[in-house]
C-alpha cells in the first residue's frame, strides 16, 4: 500500500533560504508535484547528511514527509550538483536569474516536466561552459516562456499573416512583416538568421536547444529578454545583478 505520509521524488533546488540557524526553506522543482516548498529542518547542522541536498542548484533524489499539505525533507542523495558553476561568478549569476525565472513561471501541482528539463539543461551547459551565455540565456528564456503558455508566433506576421517576417514585437507576441513593423510601436528588427534561431529554439528537441550560431544569439538575446519581461509583467532582481557584472 502506498504510504501517503512519504513521497520519494527527484527535485531541483531553485532557491534555498536560511530559516532559524541551521534550517532551510527550499523552493524545489519536481517532475510529479511541480513546484513545491520544502522545509529542511537542521539541514546544515554539523554532520548533516542532507547539507549538500539543500544547496541551490542541487538536483537530488529526495525523501519527503508530508504533513498537513507541507513537505519536509527527510533524506536525500545528490544526483547532480553542477559543481562547474562555482568557478565563474557570471555563470552563477545567470543560473540564479534562470532559476528565478523558472520559479516565476512554474506552477504548483503541475505535472509538466518541461520547466525542470529546460532548467537542468541550462545548468549543465553553464556548469560545463559548453556554449556562450547569449546562446544559453536566449534559448532558455524562450523555451521557458513558451512552456508557460506564451509561444511567440514565428511562422508569419502576427498582424496580417504575411509569411515575410523581418521584425518582432514583444507586445504582440510574434513576428512582423516590414509594412506592419512600421505601424508597430515596439517593433524590433529581426534578421533571417535570428528568426531561424528563434524557430529552432522553439521547436527542437531539448538536446539540440543550444545548437544554433552564436552570432544569431547575440541578436536574439535582447529580443528574448524583452519578450520574457513583457510576458511576465515583472522585472527580476537576479537579472539586474547579472547585467551589472
Which residues of the shown chain bind Zn ion in the complex (CB under 5 A)? 157, 159-160, 162, 177, 180
Report the distance separating Cα 193 and Cα 212, nearest Å. 9
DSSP 8-state code for residue 87: G
**Residue with smaller CB distance to Zn ion, 24 or 159:** 159
Please report where in the chains the cell 562547474 appears, as a residue. Answer: 84
Query: Considering beta carbons, is residue 142 or 176 the nearer one to Zn ion?
Result: 176
Q: Using the minimum distance from each CB to Zn ion, give the nearer residue, 58 or 157.
A: 157
E strands, 107-225, in order: 167-169, 174-176, 188-189
Closest CB to Zn ion among 123 and 167?
167
In the complex, the smallest distance separating the C-beta of residue 186 from Zn ion, rounded to whole angstroms, is 15
d(Cα 11, Cα 32) in Å, to the nearest integer? Answer: 9
Residue 6 CB, shortest distance to Zn ion, in Å, is 56
Tell me the C-alpha distance between 155 and 165, whole Å.
8
The nearest distance, CB 177 to Zn ion, in angstroms, is: 3
Ordered DSSP codes for 164-227: ---EEETTTTEEE-HHHHHT-TT-EE--HHHHHHHHHHHHS-GGGTT-S-HHHHHHHHHHHHHH
The residue among 143 and 159 lying less far from Zn ion, judged by its C-beta, is: 159
CA 29 to chain centre: 11
Taking the complex as a whole, the smallest distance from the CB of residue 194 to Zn ion amounts, in Å, to: 18
Q: CB 130 → Zn ion: shortest distance, Å?
A: 37
Amino acid at each position: 500500500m502506498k504510504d501517503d505520509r512519504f513521497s520519494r521524488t527527484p527535485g531541483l533546488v531553485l532557491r534555498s533560504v536560511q530559516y532559524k540557524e541551521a534550517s532551510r526553506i527550499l523552493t524545489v522543482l519536481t517532475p510529479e508535484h511541480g513546484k513545491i516548498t520544502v522545509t529542511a529542518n537542521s539541514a546544515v547542522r554539523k554532520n548533516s547528511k542532507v547539507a549538500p541536498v539543500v544547496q541551490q542548484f542541487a538536483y537530488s533524489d529526495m525523501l519527503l514527509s508530508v504533513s498537513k499539505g507541507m513537505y519536509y525533507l527527510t533524506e536525500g542523495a545528490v544526483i547532480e550538483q553542477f559543481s562547474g558553476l562555482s568557478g565563474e561568478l557570471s555563470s552563477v549569476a545567470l543560473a540564479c536569474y534562470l532559476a528565478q525565472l523558472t520559479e516565476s513561471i512554474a506552477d504548483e501541482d503541475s505535472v509538466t516536466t518541461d520547466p525542470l528539463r529546460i532548467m537542468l539543461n541550462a545548468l549543465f551547459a553553464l556548469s560545463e561552459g559548453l556554449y556562450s551565455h547569449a546562446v544559453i540565456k536566449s534559448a532558455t528564456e524562450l523555451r521557458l516562456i513558451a512552456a508557460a503558455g506564451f509561444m511567440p508566433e514565428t511562422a508569419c506576421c502576427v498582424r496580417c499573416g504575411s509569411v515575410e517576417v523581418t521584425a518582432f514585437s514583444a507586445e504582440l507576441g510574434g513576428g512582423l512583416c516590414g509594412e506592419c513593423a512600421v505601424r508597430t510601436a515596439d517593433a524590433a528588427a529581426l534578421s533571417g538568421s535570428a528568426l531561424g534561431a528563434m524557430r529552432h529554439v522553439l521547436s527542437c528537441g531539448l538536446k539540440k536547444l543550444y545548437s544554433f550560431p552564436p552570432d544569431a544569439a547575440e541578436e536574439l538575446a535582447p529580443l528574448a529578454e524583452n519578450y520574457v519581461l513583457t510576458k511576465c509583467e515583472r522585472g527580476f532582481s537576479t537579472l539586474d545583478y547579472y547585467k551589472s557584472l
